[in-house]
């Protein structure tokens, strides 16, 4: 049913993908906030925001009240 593709040769880790596409700023985040944090940038930041908006609209359309707790 079609041609088998060798997907293993083209695999990249998530770190390789974010560095290659400049989707996060790890060094600046580590300097400002500490290690293990990141700043989303560009298209990935926009995608994250779009997914959040979708989720908020989804719950509101079903009659739930959106609540945003404080950041601790």
**Backbone φ/ψ region at 37: left (φ over 0), alpha (ψ -120 to 50), beta:** beta
* Digit-coded pLDDT (tens) for 2-58: 777 776 777 899 888 988 999 998 888 889 988 888 899 999 999 999 999 999 999
Answer whether 12's CB lies under 8 Å from 20's CB.
yes
Structure tokens at 15: 């770190």
Q: Name which of 39, 46, 49 is nearest 18 in CA terms.
A: 39
Residue 17 CB contacts under 8 Å (≥ 6 apart), including other chains: 23
Residue 1 has pLDDT above 70, yes or no: no
């Amino acid at each position: 049913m079609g041609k088998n593709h060798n997907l293993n040769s083209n695999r990249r880790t998530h770190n390789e993908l974010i560095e290659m596409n400049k989707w996060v700023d790890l060094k600046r985040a580590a300097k400002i906030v500490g290690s293990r944090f990141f700043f989303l940038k560009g298209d990935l930041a926009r995608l994250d925001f779009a997914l959040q908006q979708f989720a908020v609209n989804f719950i509101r359309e079903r009659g739930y009240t959106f609540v945003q707790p404080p950041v601790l």
